[in-house]
A and B are shown apart, each in its own frame.
Chain A
Amino acid sequence: MRVPRLRLPAVRERHAARGTRRVVPRGSAMDRFGLRDLLAESAYGIAARPGRLVLTVLGTVLGIGSLVVTIGLAQTAAGQISRQFDAVAATQVVVEPATAQSASGQRATGRIPWDVEDRLGRLAGVEQVGALASVDVGDATITTVPVHDPSAATLAQPPVVAATPGLLAAVRGTVVTGRWFDAGHDERADRVVVLGSRAATRLGVNRVDSQPSVFIGDRAYTVMGIVDDLARRTDLLDAVILPVGTARADFGLGALEQAQVTIAVGAGPVVGEQAPVALAPNNPETIDVQTPPEAPAVRAQVQADVNAIFLALGAVALLVGGLGIANITLLSVRERVGEIGLRRALGARTSDIGRQFLVESAVIGLLGGLVGATLGVGVVAGVSLAKHWTPILDTWVTLAAALLGGVIGLLAGTYPALKAARVEPIAALRGGA
């Protein structure tokens, strides 16, 4: 039986205008080892030895993985640190009148208006506002019983402080018993006081349901509550605190000394800029605002410290990974000289051969990068979970790390690819394979 005759039409030639017509490739340029062919041949080359692929990418996986872990843990730790930092300091703003040096000492050049709570409360990022001033009670004594015995030894007096209704929240205080006064007490100038917990102990007051009184001089003030914590102004724990309205009416309080403001994280710069204008529109320079240090600065500094060491380790791992790819690709070129010779005989140019090996090692590097980045993200997530941290890892860091693997593969493949391109076809074809 005869096999059918071969009837393959000659491949159509494209005629070029100049005398080189016979050399012009047949078909279109797209048909001669195009990008699709290059990628397909490279993929076959990589997939031919899966076991070796694993060995080849191992170094890159470790290198990229350790980079991602390093950066991820540094970012996570920095986030953690700035969160703790935020909790105590980064959300507090203190506003005071500016002072100038004069002959009689420090003198305030501006004043905090009585309606400071309304004015600052309107600013974006402001959460709680309160203000206070110390009250000069002259030589009036502070006791729980009205005493008129001037011969009795005078103990150290607890300080008397006037506060706006918002102050308790603004200095992060808590009520131990009773309650804190409100705007109504303030407006009506009610004779009420709240005691700091230490002042209460000193005055022997521990319950307020029986409406005990504290005498300042000979005026009686009803104790509404006892407060504690007051993290921003722990000195108030020793104080007898009364509404500003009451202090103005009874003691002629002339001005507020300080406003305490809690703000949202990151609102510091904005509040610092707007608060003076809100309080003193005509001469904002008379108001001093102390804003918290910016969180990003804190974070960047911590990050820099942590990263330096581990980035160096990651870089070493990457160098080793790159050398691994270079080494094994070189081995692969040596093993595949027969294939290279064959491809040359089939019409491959030196550049076609070089490109194929270059793409192979770049793809191997990219694979290593992807796997390494994925593992790295997993480790960061795992460590964070174990330590109850919030994992922080920029997406672009992960992507860039994966791409870095590809770049390393490309660099590592350059020398082997040049070697492959230089393989002499006759020598390569002489052997078996």
Chain B
Amino acid sequence: MSVPAVIELRQASRTFSGHTPVQALRPTDLVVERGDYVSVVGPSGSGKSTLLNLLGLLDRPTGGSYLLDGLDTGTLSEDDRATVRGGRIGFVFQSFHLLPHRTVLENVLLATLYSGVPRRERHERAHAALERVGLSNRLDFSPAVLSGGERQRVAVARAVIAAPQVLLADEPTGNLDSTTTAGVLDLFDELHADGLTLVVITHDSAVSARARRRVRIADGTLREAS
């Protein structure tokens, strides 16, 4: 039996019901193998975040199915989906989502609370993750005093601390200038080289160019780019 793909969408679609229903994602097939570095690029409103929310189990497809690591996520309860999210998926958001009243270290430790990282491993892992993103000297800083690039590296450290199967990033450089963008993209390269699977969503073709595999999305339709 072969190793299952980390991500496999089978005719997955998402329609937002409402006054005028919006089909944000048309029925889509997508397979992301272990160790892939995939970028999804498309204009604003094309359905990128909708796709990422499905992949991150923050949302459910209205049609088709989604297998994560060979597991059909459609059969899971909400609590099980939360557990899978905590243990197997790392998120990086455009607006960082760091807690302003907590230190850098505490923000990273937050991801160990819900993912079952043994208590005595938590600090060790957090230090290792922050060292990995080059912020060992910022442990007790408040996120408020960090630059945008540093904040996003804290978020990356938080995303990888529980050793997830896949890192999902939604416009990770959307709030960064070109210099700090380069720093974060270098970090993604390194994580990919370490064997992590990445799906990075962006509307910036310079960012998507760094990925090994590029997928274009327009009007809710996915298309492999050469």
Q: Which residues of A contact B (CB under 8 A)?
A: 2-11, 20, 22-28, 30-34, 36-37, 41, 44, 47-48, 338-339, 341-352, 425-426, 429-433
Contact = CB atoms under 8 A, between A and B. Distances in A.
A366 B71 CA distance: 45
Interface stretch (B25-33, B40-48, B74-82, B200-208): B74-82
Contact of B76 (A23, A37, A348, A349): A23
Interface string B81-101: 011111100010101010101
Contacts of B190: 2-3, 5-6
A5 B87 contact: no
A41 B101 CA distance: 12
22 contacts: A4-B132, A5-B193, A6-B194, A8-B128, A11-B117, A25-B83, A25-B86, A25-B116, A26-B115, A26-B116, A27-B116, A31-B116, A32-B86, A36-B119, A41-B113, A339-B99, A346-B115, A347-B85, A347-B115, A350-B78, A429-B93, A433-B95
A48 B193 CA distance: 39
Given A23-B83, A41-B113, A425-B58, A30 B132 contact: no
A28 to B, nearest CB: 7
Interface-central residue, B80, B97, B193, by most chain A CB under 10 Å: B97
A345 B113 CA distance: 12
Contact of A11 (B56, B80, B133, B163): B163
A347 B97 contact: no
A349 B132 CA distance: 29
Contact of A352 (B69, B101, B114, B163): B114
B51 interface: no
Contacts of A47: 101
Contacts of B49: 430
B219 to A, nearest CB: 20
Interface string B47-77: 0010001001011000000000111000010
B123 to A, nearest CB: 13
A276 B79 CA distance: 76
Contacts of A347: 82-83, 85-87, 111, 114-115
A344 B84 CA distance: 11
A349 B79 contact: yes
B114 A348 contact: yes
Q: Nearest 5 CB-CB pairs, A to B?
A: A347-B86, A347-B114, A27-B116, A26-B116, A48-B101
Nearest to B117: A11
B161 A8 contact: yes
Nearest to B80: A23
Interface of B: 49, 53, 56, 58-59, 69-71, 76, 78-80, 82-87, 91, 93, 95, 97, 99, 101-102, 106, 110-111, 113-119, 125, 128-129, 131-134, 158, 160-163, 190-191, 193-194, 196
A431 B93 CA distance: 10
Interface-central residue, B76, B86, B106, B115, by most chain A CB under 10 Å: B86
A418 to B, nearest CB: 15
B58 A44 contact: no
A6 B113 contact: no
A8 B160 contact: yes
Given A31-B118, A345-B85, A426 B110 contact: no
Contacts of A9: 163
Given A6-B191, A341-B97, A347-B115, A23 B71 contact: yes
Contacts of A433: 95, 97
A120 to B, nearest CB: 72
Nearest to B162: A11
B78 A8 contact: no
Contacts of A8: 125, 128-129, 160-161, 163
Contacts of B191: 6
A22 B115 contact: no
Nearest to A23: B80
A164 to B, nearest CB: 81
A289 B115 CA distance: 78
Contact of A6 (B71, B119, B129): B129
Nearest to A10: B163
A352 B83 CA distance: 12
Contacts of B158: 346
Contacts of B79: 349-351
A25 B116 CA distance: 6
B59 A426 contact: yes
Contact of B91 (A27, A36, A345): A345
A203 B86 CA distance: 106
Nearest to A12: B118
B84 to A, nearest CB: 6
B217 to A, nearest CB: 17
Contacts of B114: 32-33, 343, 346-349, 352
Contact of A28 (B71, B97, B118, B163): B118
Contact of A26 (B82, B91, B117): B117
Interface-central residue, A33, A347, A351, A426, by most chain B CB under 10 Å: A347
B142 to A, nearest CB: 12
Contact of A5 (B86, B118, B132): B132
B87 A346 contact: no
B133 A3 contact: yes
A30 B85 contact: no
Nearest to A7: B128
Contacts of B134: 3
B86 A346 contact: yes
Given A3-B190, A36-B119, A347-B86, 7 more contacts: A6-B128, A10-B163, A25-B86, A32-B113, A41-B113, A44-B102, A426-B53
